[in-house]
Structure 1
Amino acid sequence: MASHVTNSIIGRYVLAIVIAMVVFLPNFTYAKKSKIIGLKMNVIDKCWRSDPEWRKHRPQLATCSIGYVGKMTNNIGEGLIHYKVTDPSDDPINPKYGTLRYGASVIQGKVWITFQRDMVIRLVRPLLISSFTTIDGRGVDIHIAHNACLMIFKATNIIIHGLRIHHCKPQAPGMVMGSNGKVMPLGQVDGDAIRLVTASKIWIDHNTLYNCQDGLLDVTRGSTDVTVSNNWFRFQDKVMLLGHDDGYIRDQNMKVTVVYNHFGPNCNQRMPRIRHGYAHVVNNMYLGWLQYAIGGSMEPSLKSEANLFIAPPSGSKEVTWRKGSRANGDKWEFHSVKDIFENGASFKTTKGGYVRKPNYTKDQAFNVADAKSVRSLISSSGALRCSKTSIC
């Protein structure tokens, strides 16, 4: 018995030493690290998480994006400003140096924002993010919560990574520091976690979003070239809206990639709801819904590819919903390709069999994984809890 206990203790020490060698020795290949530690990463995460010294190479993240956003190389390179948030307070009109609003709204040009420590930031007014800004919450626990949240208004080339955004509330009209560094009037805001208005080339990756009064993510008013990846959406009625309203024709040009996200538990609808434009929804996991998972109106095109749909125990098992249109009839293009349906889930596809391709460029393209791998691909979704040493 004593010999067995001794051998068990020695075995644990050996395993700990092996893991330490894998993590901290740069000569180990990613495949060896994955095999020993048991990490199974999607293509975005493989790009940076396998580097044990990612903290020294933070801007490498900008080369890891996929889908319609393309590569975010405009956010790095010559002239990049590194800015650290040290103060969780917020002044919407005269932001102090050290606050998130100063870095995101006042500073213009390429800005890479990190955080000194764990923070809960209660924004007094919505945060308008300037073009070429990266908000990088890796390595700390950052909450944007309990009042106003994030808005991208007439801006481009923005990365939002590693934040916990929740309990966002509606805001009355008022003055706020604009994304151009000048104070401007802002109208009524509904209480979304992240709202895009006439924005382009936006990457939203590895955030945890929940419990907001309106929705978690709105892509509206001509916004396009957006990738939504590795996020965890949970505890929410209306999750993701793609397209402003039925009458906003400019959203016909909208293109959004929704990939490696975890929807649920307790999400009701809009995962996403799409109007006019095109969405490639791929390699996501849906852990139930109340009304529907994917819906739309105004002749949108949607390719659902290699997702895992797990229907709720009771109620609606149908994944899709279509809003009727007297004038246009049923002209939606909703297609399911290599999806997996569990617990009785079903997907009503458009008749005719035509499936519009994403037509990605070289910088946007990626290999779609088998839907059987989705549980592994989304296992690290949401804001990552990185160790104080190297692992993330």
Structure 2
Amino acid sequence: MACHQCPNANIWCFVLGLFIAIASFAKETKVDGLKLNVIDGCWRWNLDWRRNRKELALCSVGFYGRMSNIIGRNIVYYQVTDPSDNALEPKPGTLRYGATMIRGKKWITFQRDMRIRLEKPLLISSFTAIDGRGPSVHIAGNACLVVFKASNVIIHGLRIHHCCSQAPSLVMDPDGKIMPLGQVDGDAIRLVTASKVWIDHNTLYECQDGLLDVTRGSTDITVSNNWFRDRSCFPATMIAIFGIRT
């Protein structure tokens, strides 16, 4: 069931510290006659990118630069095969299991097109890449994504929409333990005391509160090539924004 829009949405504004850069000022690359910005030109030229997904981490630009800490030795490649969700007992094959239960560096992909309805907000652990390139992956219809006290996170290629506010509840924390979580307002992606996060090529729209909420000392955040629909502004601090469509 769709949730209602926040009545205060129209009075949101950018907070101090917002840095905006437009991708058109960056060096362009051509692939099959198409002009690509510096990020797309970094990986799209490689027709075999599916076999080298982790190379995406080296394409990030912005406050933190390349996300090289997320790749390297001992990285786990995890594929989401099951669109279901259990907030307290995640099953192997689900997105929540990969994002909260696997320790260390992990690169998460999706087996096929899917629509995921999260029971509760998904708290993404450190050193996690969620790579939605290829299939059409929707996270929609209830709770959405939170980066809480985590670092070195990539969120790429997802469609996140119709996110609803959530009452206080128990959830699986980024360390794979059950923790109490206060009320969540209904943002598509919320960052709380997060650092070294790259949000790229996502489509965010029609959420109850906002689309991207970056709060409480979050730093080194890069937001690039995303499509923000149905919102004219959003709270942000210490963000580099490239190629945004509004």
The TM tier, using the shorter chain, reads: 0.7 to 0.9
Q: By how many angstroms is 1:116 displaced?
A: 0.4
**Structure-2 residue corresponding to 1:43:** 38
Q: By how many angstroms is 1:261 displaced?
A: 1.1
Which whole-Å deviations, capped at 9, do the CAs of 1:18-54 have from their partners, x for residues lacking one? Answer: xxxxxxxxxxxx97x63xx331100001100010110
Q: Is the 8 A contact 1:130 1:179 kept in 2?
A: yes
Paired residue secondary structure (2:147) = strand
Paired residue secondary structure (1:215) = coil
Paired residue secondary structure (1:204) = strand
**Structure-1 residue corresponding to 2:127:** 132
Which whole-Å deviations, capped at 9, do the CAs of 1:67-126 have from their partners, x for residues lacking one? Answer: 112110111010000000000000000000000000001111100000000000000000
Distance in 1, matches of 2:64 and 2:118, equals 27
Task: State which of 194, 203, 207 in structure 2 corresponds to 1:212.
Answer: 207
**Structure-2 residue corresponding to 1:61:** 56
Q: By how many angstroms is 1:147 displaced?
A: 0.3
Distance in 2, matches of 1:166 and 1:82, equals 26
Q: Which runs of 4+ in 1 moved over 2 A?
A: none
Which whole-Å deviations, capped at 9, do the CAs of 1:164-205 have from their partners, x for residues lacking one? Answer: 000000000000000011010000000000000000000000
1:371-382 pair list within 5 angstroms: none
Q: By how many angstroms is 1:259 displaced?
A: 1.0
Paired residue secondary structure (2:34) = coil
**Structure-2 residue corresponding to 1:297:** none
Distance in 2, matches of 1:236 and 1:229, equals 16
Structure 1: give runs of 5+ residues left out of the alignment: 1-29, 244-254, 264-392
Structure 2 residue 98 is the aligned partner of structure 1 residue 103: yes
Which whole-Å deviations, capped at 9, do the CAs of 1:237-285 have from their partners, x for residues lacking one? Answer: 6x42115xxxxxxxxxxx210111111xxxxxxxxxxxxxxxxxxxxxx
Aligned AA (1:242) = A
Distance in 2, matches of 1:257 and 1:236, equals 18
Distance in 1, matches of 2:202 and 2:35, equals 19
Q: Is the 8 A contact 1:212 1:236 kept in 2?
A: no
**Structure-2 residue corresponding to 1:259:** 242
Task: State which of 178, 194, 199 in structure 2 corresponds to 1:199.
Answer: 194
Relative to its length, the structure with more helix (as a share) is 1
Structure 2: give runs of 5+ residues left out of the alignment: 1-27
1:155-166 pair list within 5 angstroms: 155-166=150-161
Paired residue secondary structure (2:234) = strand
Task: State which of 78, 84, 89 in structure 1 corresponds to 2:79.
Answer: 84
TM-score (norm 1): 0.55
Q: By how many angstroms is 1:236 displaced?
A: 2.8
Task: State which of 147, 151, 154 in structure 1 corresponds to 2:149.
Answer: 154
1:135-284 pair list within 5 angstroms: 135-236=130-231, 239-243=233-237, 255-263=238-246
TM-score (norm 2): 0.87
Which whole-Å deviations, capped at 9, do the CAs of 1:206-235 have from their partners, x for residues lacking one? Answer: 000000000000110000000000000112
Paired residue secondary structure (1:131) = coil
Which whole-Å deviations, capped at 9, do the CAs of 1:147-168 have from their partners, x for residues lacking one? Answer: 0000000000000000000000
Aligned AA (2:110) = F
Aligned AA (1:99) = T
Paired residue secondary structure (2:191) = strand
**Structure-2 residue corresponding to 1:364:** none
Q: Is the 8 A contact 1:205 1:231 kept in 2?
A: yes
Between structure 1 and structure 2, the one with the greater Rg is 1
